[in-house]
Chain A
Amino acid sequence: MIEPTSPVLLQAHDVTIGYQGRNVVNRLSIGIERGRFTALLGPNGCGKSTLLRALAGLLAPKSGAISLEGQPIAQLSRKQLARRLSFLPQIPRAPDDITVRDLVEQGRYPHRRPLAPWSAADRAACTEALELTHMVALAERPLAALSGGQRQRAWLAMTLAQSADILLLDEPTTYLDMAHQLELLALLRRLVDERGKTILAVLHDINQAGQFADKLALLSDGAITSIGPPADVITTETIRTVFHVDGMVLVNPMAPCPLFLPRTALASIDAADDDTMRS
């Protein structure tokens, strides 16, 4: 694999993020390295989505700073930011009757000037996004006529059409069956390896994350508990602390990263569950 560290592209420095008096993320710092696939994992309600929204500039931190190549993102306009960074929310919504192509074309918004016609670059970016996500044949279908997995791919195509270097994806595998999950993760891997994209994705399956991502970051109660290459992060100790799950770490016969085999949930899961009742 490539060198162990790469320059930090997107950085959160000592950020506290929250909604109305309640802090979800506490004085957290994380650096997202350029050209790497970083997976963000953690139990429900630990602040993953909140952190991602803040990194995408949709939620201003109460304190601390988020910067893109050293420049605070608060100083960038939405358009400037959108050219560099794209974000796919967990449950994106759009009018049901919008077609896949119309949706994907919306991804070109930050690249278009007022009244300027649709350019060759716009067309090329949309075509490529549709091809990468295997959505060409479905491009003229309305979103409502698609299965959950196809819809998720349509959203990803819109995100890709934005041609940003950084992709922030909130649970992109959620609605997909196993085959489509693997296909999507392989696509993300390819985007990193072949296009030099930088990806931060919230994932649920730690073994999938270990197989496809360069780095794992575990988030628990709004703080990073562990970050590093999969082999360093996937240990019985870290998983017990973060997920309250007991199990074993095995040697993965198919990949160079360890494999976690869960045995049982620990008693303290109730406490963790209470935490998710918020919102």
Chain B
Amino acid sequence: MPNPDALPPRRRGNRRALGLVLLIALVPPMALWNLTVGSSQIAPDVWFEALMHPDGSREHIVLLDVRLPRMLAGLLVGAQLAVAGAIMQAVTANPLASPGLLGINAGAAFAVVLALAFTSIDASGSLVWFAFGGAGVAALCVYALGSIGRGGATPLKLALAGAVLTAFLTSATTSLLLLNQGTLDNLRLWAAGSLTGRSLSTVAELAPYGLAGLACALVAARPIMTLSLGGDLASTVGQNVVRWRLLAGLLVVVLAGSAVALAGPVGFVGLVVPHAARLLVGADYRWIMGYSAPLGALLVLLADTGIRWLAGIDLPVGITMALIGSPVFIALARRRSGMMR
């Protein structure tokens, strides 16, 4: 691999910008592919018909009510979880930090299922606040658990605390789903992480949170880059570290929480994508975050479409992502085991 850092700064910046444009340009074709593949193949030209002049035919209804929200959900969830993962890796200086591994997705999912099981709330716009609450409480718990003992919140202790909390919350969520079989039947797919069954109005209700989160992440990219230097150094160059860590945490909660409210706890996106971005652009978190958004959207859409196209089965995207992500996770853990301690 040619070393991108060997280039003079101007050219390096240009190359990174070109790469970002390329990645963004790949998103529409990927989205279109996602729309065409399914139990019935629908040609792209029918698509334009359906968008411009919907005639209520079965094909058009499938496209607009089933596939369009599914594609949009994939787009949002991928970008949101990937950027959330990048922020977490920057703030904790932990290569294994991600909303999935540190229990934030599981916390959001548990809170949503809790609300559905014990309250009469079922509007996505209200449930998302439970997701935020669950994500926030889970983040605080993992940080508190991981900080116990010598050396504070080391990467290894955080990852272990996250694993423990995820295991606990996932089984609690499953228990709730099993106990309330009748009402929560349609939730079981969601709890595995799935893009299906979302209506266009659900997507429209949740998208503002995700888009606002992504916009804030873009604005905060520079301070987040400075946070990635570590607390001491960030303070030395004049950063209010406590304030920015809190803000970054809040951003993660909004991004991951609304992603979970939309598609359930989809794992590994937040872990794998920032690493891929880092391979492409180096250690600069401004670029890592920029690359993570389109890469995350591409990965989730690819996982969702690819399995349908290859195997002809409609697997929840959370499961496909686990199939892709687990080997990558093991590779990362092995490669980085030296700096885990």
Chain A interface (Cβ within 8 Å of chain B)?
56-58, 77-83, 86-89, 92-99, 101-103, 106-107, 109-110, 112, 114-115, 139-142, 158, 162
Contacts and interface: CB of A to CB of B under 8 A. Distances in A.
A94 B39 CA distance: 50
B285 to A, nearest CB: 9
B246 interface: no
Contacts of A106: 225-226, 229, 233, 237
Contacts of A158: 237
A95 B238 contact: no
A99 B5 contact: yes
Interface in B241-284: 241, 278, 282-284
B84 to A, nearest CB: 19
B228 interface: yes
23 contacts: A56-B236, A57-B235, A77-B240, A78-B235, A78-B239, A79-B238, A83-B238, A86-B236, A88-B236, A89-B236, A92-B233, A93-B233, A94-B229, A94-B230, A97-B282, A101-B9, A102-B283, A106-B233, A110-B237, A114-B219, A115-B219, A158-B237, A162-B237
A112 B5 CA distance: 25
B6 A140 contact: yes
A51 to B, nearest CB: 16
Given A93-B230, A109-B237, 9 more contacts: A57-B235, A79-B238, A82-B237, A94-B230, A110-B238, A112-B222, A140-B9, A142-B5, A162-B237
B45 interface: no
Given A78-B239, A140-B9, A99 B226 contact: no
A102 B233 contact: no
B284 A58 contact: no
Contacts of A87: 236
Nearest to A58: B235
A114 B232 CA distance: 21
A158 B236 CA distance: 11
Interface in B1-25: 5-9, 12
A115 B12 CA distance: 21
A19 to B, nearest CB: 13
A99 B219 contact: no
B244 to A, nearest CB: 10
Interface of B: 5-9, 12, 93, 219, 222, 225-226, 228-230, 232-233, 235-241, 278, 282-284
Contacts of B12: 140
Given A106-B237, A109-B226, A89 B282 contact: no
Contact of B238 (A82, A99, A139, A142): A82
A247 to B, nearest CB: 36
Given A140-B12, A141-B5, A78 B238 contact: yes
* A88, A98, A112 — most chain B CB neighbours (10 Å): A98
Contacts of B93: 95
Contacts of B5: 99, 140-142
A89 B239 CA distance: 16
A43 to B, nearest CB: 24
A142 B8 CA distance: 13
B118 to A, nearest CB: 42
Contacts of B230: 93-94
Contacts of A103: 229
A142 B236 contact: no
Contacts of A107: 237
Contacts of A77: 240
B126 to A, nearest CB: 33
A63 B269 CA distance: 48
Given A95-B93, A95-B228, A114-B219, A89 B8 contact: no
B283 A97 contact: yes
B240 A78 contact: yes
A86 B8 CA distance: 28
A127 B236 CA distance: 20
Contacts of A101: 9
Given A114-B219, A142-B5, A58 B232 contact: yes
Contacts of B283: 95-99, 102, 142
Contacts of A83: 238
A112 B223 CA distance: 11
Contacts of A115: 219
Contact of A99 (B233, B236, B237, B282): B282
B233 A58 contact: no
Contacts of A96: 283
A94 to B, nearest CB: 5
Contacts of B228: 95
